[in-house]
Structure 1
C-alpha cells in the first residue's frame, strides 16, 4: 500500500483526499517510480476543477515528479531498477508515493540535478524551452512580453530570455513581484494593478509593440495581449490561470494587424521520447551551466496538497512549489 492524493468530484481544494491505495504493477511498457519530490502546477487545479476533464473519477492528480525507478515492465529496455528519473507530462497520479507511468514519459536525471530541483523545474522549465526555443524560436535581440513574470514559469522565462539576449517585458501585480522579476532577468516590468499594459508596451518599444507575446493568464489578459502584438506578430496563449479564453472572433486578428495566435501544450512538443529527452537535456544544461537557477519557494508535505493549491491559486507563491511524500 502507498499514500496518494485523489479527488472523486470536481471543485475547490477541499475535494482533495489523502488516501491509501494499491499501486498497480507496471505493464509491459511501464515503469513504477518511487517519488522523492512532486511538482505542483496550475494545470493541476484545472483537472481538479473540471476545466480539463480527467479520464475518469475518482482520479489521481499531478503530472510532474522525480524519483527512483522501483519496478519496470517486461518490455522496458531504456530504464532499470535504481535509475534516477524525472517526468512532467503525465499521466495523472504524480501526487503519490508510487506512480506508474509509461516509460516514454520519463527522462534520465543527471547526478548533478537533485530530485527536489527536478520536480521544481521539469514542467515549468520544459514549458519555457518549447515557448522560447520552438513555438517562437527567439534569436536574440527581440523585445517580448511575458505575463505573470514573477510566477514559476515566468521566473524561468526571465532567466532563459536574458541568457538568449532577449529583452523580456514582464507583467506583475505588485512592486514586490516586479523586483523579483527584475532580479530573475526581466528587462522591464509593468505593474498591471497601477499601469496600462498596452500603453507601457508602446512606450518601452518606441511604438513597435512585440513580435511575440506569451500569455499564460488567459481570459483576463486576452484583449490586452492582442493590443501588444506587433503587426504579423504571434500571440502564444499557453495557459488559463484566470479562466479559459472563449468566444474568440478571428476578425480581431485582421483588425489588429494580421496577427497569428497559437495555443500550444507541452505534450504537443514533447510528443516522442526522443524529443522529450532532447528538450530535457537542454533544460538540464541550462541548470548545470548556472544560466538557469531553480528556486523552490515552498515545500509542503504530500498530505497538505490542498493547502499548497490554495496558496498557488491565490498567487501567494513565488518560484516553484513542491510536495514531499
Structure 2
C-alpha cells in the first residue's frame, strides 16, 4: 500500500464588524495528510444578532465565483441575499466547512461533475454547504428554530462561504452547547460521513475491530472517535497516519494503536493488534490500498470505501473468496432521510457525551479561499 491521503478537510473564517474585510480562517483538525482541516470561524464577540422579521432581504460579504475554473475564481465580494421563503432560515455564519466536493463544483463542467450538470450551480455562486452560526431570521412556516439559536447547517441556498447564508430549514439543526461554531462546521461532511460509514454501511457493533486507513484526515479522526464510542472497551480501533504529529492526533482521538503508513510493514504492525483481522476497514484512498485492505480483513469483514481517485484497481477476486469479505461504497448524499436523521441525532448525543470533539487546527483569512481550495486537495 502507498501513502494515504485522507478524503476531506475543512476551513473557516472570522468576519470582523468592519465589513467588507473578513479575517481569520480557522482550519479544523480533523486532518488531511496530517494537516488540520479548515473551518471558517467568526468570533461570537463580533456579531450581535438582531431579531429580524421573517422574509427580510439582506446582504452578505461572501466568496463569489463569477465563472468556473481554478481556485483563482474565488473572490471576495458583497452580494444581495434573496428574501426568505416560508420554510427557510437566515443564518449569521460563524464558521463554514470546506470539503473536496466544493472544489469539484468550482471546476464546473471541466471537473469530476462534468457528467452530472445537475450538481453544478448557476453562475455567479458562493461555495459551501457546511456551516455553523446563529439564526437571524426565520420563515413563517419554520418550526423548532428561533431567532438567536446556535445552529449548524448541512445545506445552503446561497452558500456558506459568507457572513450570512439562506438555508432550507430542513438542513438546519441545533448546535449542542458542548460544540463551538468551528466544531459545528465539521459536522455536515466529515463527522456525518464517518458515522454514516460506521453505522449505516459497515453496521459496526460493540466489540468489533476497526482499522481506519488514513485516520489523521477529517473523516478519519471523526471515525476513530465515533468507532471507539461504538465498539466500547471490548473493541479495537487502529488508525494510520503519515507523520509523528498525525500519529499523536490519532492516538489522542482514542485509537487502541497507531501505525505510520509511510513505513514498510505498517499493515503487519496493525494486524498484530488484531491477529484475526479487522471486522471493518474504512478506506480513504482505495485506488492505492484496496488490495492491501483485503489482506487485513477478518472473515466476513467489511471494507468501506470513503475516498478514491477515479482510476482502475487490480484486485485478485480470490481475496474476497477466502475471507468472504464485502466491499461497500460510502456516499453520504445517497443516505436516506431516515439515515440522515439518525446520523445527526447520534452526532448530537456523541457531542453531548464528549465522545466526539472536532478540533480546530489553524487559521486562514477569508481572502485566502483560493489557497484553502488548493490545500484541501493535497
Fold agreement, TM-score > 0.5 = yes
Q: Deviations over 1:126-164 (max 9, x none)?
A: 222222233223222222111221122222222222233
Whole-Å Cα distance in 1 between the matches of residues 248 and 313 of structure 2?
35
Tell me the equivalent position of 2:32. none
Q: 1:46 to 1:215 in 2, by over 3 A?
A: farther
**Aligned-residue offset at 1:194:** 1.3
Q: What are the within-5 Å matches in structure 2 for residues 134-145 of structure 1?
A: 134-145=200-211
**Aligned with 2:204: secondary structure?**
coil
Tell me the equivalent position of 1:229. 297
Tell me the equivalent position of 2:175. 109
Q: 1:142 to 1:89 in 2, by over 3 A?
A: farther
Tell me the equivalent position of 1:51. 112
Q: 2:96·2:132 contact (CA, 8 Å) conserved in 1?
A: yes
**Aligned with 2:293: secondary structure?**
helix
Ranked by relative contact order (alpha carbons within 8 Å, sequence separation 6 or more), the top structure is 2
**Aligned-residue offset at 1:289:** 2.2
**Aligned-residue offset at 1:189:** 2.0
**Aligned with 2:185: secondary structure?**
helix
Determine if the alignment matches structure 1 residue 216 to structure 2 residue 284: yes
Whole-Å Cα distance in 2 between the matches of residues 79 and 244 of structure 1?
41
Whole-Å Cα distance in 2 between the matches of residues 80 and 40 of structure 1?
26
Q: 1:227 to 1:8 in 2, by over 3 A?
A: farther
Tell me the equivalent position of 1:7. 65
**Aligned with 2:295: secondary structure?**
helix
Counterpart of 2:153 (choices 84, 87, 107) is: 87
Q: 1:172·1:192 contact (CA, 8 Å) conserved in 2?
A: yes
Determine if the alignment matches structure 1 residue 161 to structure 2 residue 227: yes
Tell me the equivalent position of 2:244. 175
Counterpart of 2:133 (choices 64, 67, 79) is: 67
Q: 1:267 to 1:186 in 2, by over 3 A?
A: same
**Aligned-residue offset at 1:112:** 3.9
**Aligned-residue offset at 1:64:** 0.6
Counterpart of 1:20 (choices 71, 78, 81) is: 78
Whole-Å Cα distance in 1 between the matches of residues 102 and 322 of structure 2?
34
**Aligned-residue offset at 1:185:** 1.3
Q: 1:126·1:283 contact (CA, 8 Å) conserved in 2?
A: yes
For structure 1, the residue ranges without an aligned partner over 5 or more in a row are: 315-325
Q: 2:158·2:166 contact (CA, 8 Å) conserved in 1?
A: no
Whole-Å Cα distance in 1 between the matches of residues 292 and 66 of structure 2?
37
The two structures have a TM-score, normalised by structure 1, of 0.82
- Count matched residues: 309
Q: 1:107·1:277 contact (CA, 8 Å) conserved in 2?
A: no
**Aligned with 2:61: secondary structure?**
strand
Q: 1:25 to 1:239 in 2, by over 3 A?
A: farther
For structure 2, the residue ranges without an aligned partner over 5 or more in a row are: 1-58
Tell me the equivalent position of 2:330. 264
- CA RMSD between the two structures: 2.8
Whole-Å Cα distance in 2 between the matches of residues 250 and 92 of structure 1?
46
